[in-house]
């Protein structure tokens, strides 16, 4: 008897690692995918028989933008459909005061995933995300009640509706809007009791905000301030023009603006070394960031109960907004249970499921059935595959450096398997049209300095960037703070660490003085060699680093089938 095949909808699909693992069970058929990145779309399409219609797009914009997709038009049978995906979710932290924006728009995408589940009503879903998803920094803020908005996923009214046993999942919280020791500013902001009291920002364009912050950092580092080129001069002149048109009745605000204008006008003519003058830029940036954050809370319709000011023992004051917040995972469990799903979540290590990599990810699974107890898959192995199992057979094949003219016919099984026969090889080489084909064995052509670094780490049996002598670190601004994953040299006898964009991190082959290829990184992620990546080299590396390992996905799919 032929086994039932389910429809699969792949949200935030990337290159398609998650759905690829589901398809390997031969029990799932991808009917629709959403992915905004065009290079990743191209990869997805070529690995699905060049079916460009598999990517869902908004007819008005021709973009695969999930915020514009009406899932009710898919008309998929609920009991035969499964939804998978990993929506971006950025943590919130008051400690990060330097960002232009407080609240990541990416967090809205988690709610778009919820909307998809509500409208498609699949028999089951699976969500993948960062391992820290449970932590307190992954939270939403309560918004004002939006009347007649069926996509209200964050108001008190909505949260009270989905609460189990009338136990609210939200609680009081505080957002730091300004931290300063400027008495002049403090005197002014202490009068603010609500967001409606706060004036609009002096400057709100992202490029302008970034430039002003860059100028401040440049002075702090070099102790003098000078514009780099004519473009910066033009941009500063444009900022001055905007500031000259800003009108407010407060003398404090007008003084802050006037001092900033004087400094910026002087800066367009010559460099500045006087700390007292640059302090006016610091005050301006501080206060404008506060105004920008207040505007953001308004624009995002955050339910702000009040503004208040506190002072510490160093006479540094903080302006805070009192709000409600709720944990993302607790919310997801509540909303999916409200929609009728049994829900389970856990952090799983990919190396326990056949992936030659230590990669921990948060997994949530839901099944729309009553009276069943669901569970995520048990560990399949305590003896994980290693880097050697994954890429040893590619050791003697020199990666190519150009996409144009790339030669696929470079793999010779008899030669490649002489030294180490891995049980993974049959899996990697499965279903290829020719046994000599090897796609995407590409890396970036190294500069002389990078070659020296690779050679030094290899010859000294080094571990990473910090194994280099000082003269080979000089191009890095702050060598001591460089992460241990930069120029990381992999070890054959161990599973790989978590694969990221290995091109940006300059990961090194275990025995060669060169960077890992796209294909080698893909092997570490458990992609089969028949899977083709499309785009520029940096885009291919990024797609590999962002992906869910297919063998982890296959284990999740196999487990899910037990419950549906």
CA 561 to chain CA mean position, Å: 29
Which helix (H) or strand (E) segment holds residue 267: the answer is helix 251-267
- Beta strands of 109-201 (E only): which ranges? 124-130, 139-141, 170-180
Which helix (H) or strand (E) segment holds residue 324: the answer is strand 317-327
SS3 labels along 177-243: EEEECCHHHHHHHCCCCCHHHCCCCCCCCHHHHHHHHHHHHHHHHHCCECCCCHHHHHHHHHHHHHH
Give the C-alpha separation, 224 to 135, whole Å. 41
According to DSSP, the β-strands at 81-85 and 6-11 are: parallel
According to DSSP, the β-strands at 342-349 and 28-33 are: unpaired
- Return the closest-CA partner of residue 73 out of 126, 108, 127, 32: 32
Tracing tokens 């990993």 back to the chain, one arrives at 86
- Return the closest-CA partner of residue 64 out of 84, 90, 78, 44: 44
Residue 460 per-residue DSSP state: T
Residues facing 363 on adjacent strands: 128, 346
Give the C-alpha separation, 230 to 305, whole Å. 46
Catalytic site residue 294? no
CA 253 to chain CA mean position, Å: 37
- Return the closest-CA partner of residue 526 out of 5, 9, 15, 8: 15
User: How many C-beta neighbours within 10 Å does residue 376 have?
Assistant: 17
Please report, for residues 175, 180, 248, 278, 319, the alpha-carbon distance to residue 187 in angstroms, rounded to integers and kept in the order given: 20, 12, 16, 21, 12
Give the C-alpha separation, 44 to 54, whole Å. 9
Look at residue 359 and give its three-state secondary structure. coil
Give the C-alpha separation, 496 to 509, whole Å. 11
Please report, for residues 24, 44, 154, 167, 214, the alpha-carbon distance to residue 171 in angstroms, rounded to integers and kept in the order given: 43, 41, 13, 11, 36
Give the C-alpha separation, 499 to 468, whole Å. 22
Q: Which of these is catalytic: 82, 89, 261, 267?
A: 89
Give the C-alpha separation, 67 to 113, whole Å. 10
Question: What positions carry a catalytic annotation?
Answer: 89
């Amino acid at each position: 008897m032929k086994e039932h095949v389910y429809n699969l909808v792949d949200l935030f699909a990337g290159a398609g690692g998650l759905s690829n693992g589901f398809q390997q069970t031969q029990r799932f058929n991808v009917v629709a995918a959403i992915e905004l990145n065009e290079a990743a779309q191209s990869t997805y399409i070529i690995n699905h028989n060049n079916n460009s219609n598999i990517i869902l797009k908004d007819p008005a914009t021709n973009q695969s933008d999930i915020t514009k997709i009406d899932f009710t038009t898919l008309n998929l049978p609920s009991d035969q459909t499964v939804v998978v995906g990993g929506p971006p979710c950025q943590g919130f932290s008051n400690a990060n005061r330097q960002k232009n924006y407080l609240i990541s728009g990416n967090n809205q995408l988690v709610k778009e995933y919820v909307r998809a589940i509500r409208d498609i009503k699949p028999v089951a879903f699976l969500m993948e995300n960062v391992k820290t998803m449970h932590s307190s920094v992954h939270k939403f803020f309560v918004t004002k009640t939006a009347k007649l908005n069926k996509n209200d996923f964050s108001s008190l009214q909505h949260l009270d509706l989905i609460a189990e046993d009338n136990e609210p999942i939200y609680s009081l919280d505080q957002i730091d809007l300004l931290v300063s020791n400027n008495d002049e500013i403090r005197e002014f902001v202490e009068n603010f009791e609500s967001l409606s009291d706060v004036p609009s920002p002096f400057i709100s364009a992202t490029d302008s905000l970034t430039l002003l912050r860059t100028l401040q950092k440049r002075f702090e580092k070099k102790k003098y301030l000078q514009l780099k080129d004519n473009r910066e001069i033009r941009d500063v002149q444009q900022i001055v023009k905007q500031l000259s048109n800003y009108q407010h009745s407060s003398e404090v605000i007008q003084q802050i603006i006037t001092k900033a204008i004087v400094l910026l006008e002087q800066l367009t003519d010559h460099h500045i070394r006087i700390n007292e003058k640059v302090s006016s830029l610091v005050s301006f940036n501080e206060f404008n960031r506060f105004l920008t954050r207040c505007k953001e809370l308004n624009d995002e319709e955050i339910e702000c109960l009040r503004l208040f000011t506190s002072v510490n023992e160093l006479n540094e004051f903080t302006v805070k907004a009192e709000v409600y917040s709720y944990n993302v995972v607790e919310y997801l469990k509540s909303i999916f249970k409200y929609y009728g799903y049994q829900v389970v979540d856990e952090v799983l290590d990919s190396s326990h499921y056949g992936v030659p990599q230590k990669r921990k990810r948060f997994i949530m699974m839901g099944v729309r059935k009553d009276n069943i107890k669901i569970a995520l898959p048990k560990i399949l192995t305590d003896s994980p595959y290693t880097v050697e199992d994954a890429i040893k057979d590619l050791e003697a094949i020199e990666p190519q450096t150009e996409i144009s003219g790339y030669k696929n016919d470079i793999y010779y099984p008899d030669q490649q398997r002489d030294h180490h026969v891995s049980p993974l090889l049959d899996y990697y080489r499965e279903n290829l049209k020719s046994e000599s084909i090897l796609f995407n064995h590409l890396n970036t052509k190294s500069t002389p300095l990078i070659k020296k670094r690779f050679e030094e780490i290899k010859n000294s049996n080094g571990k990473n960037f910090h194994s280099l002598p000082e003269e080979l670190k000089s191009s890095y601004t702050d060598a001591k703070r460089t992460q241990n994953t930069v120029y990381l040299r992999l070890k054959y006898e161990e599973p790989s660490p978590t694969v990221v964009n290995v091109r940006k991190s300059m990961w090194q082959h275990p025995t060669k003085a060169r960077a890992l290829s796209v294909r080698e990184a893909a092997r570490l992620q458990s992609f089969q060699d028949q899977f083709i990546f499309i785009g520029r080299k940096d885009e291919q590396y990024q797609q590999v680093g962002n992906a869910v390992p297919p063998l982890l996905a296959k284990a999740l799919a196999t487990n899910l089938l037990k419950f549906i």
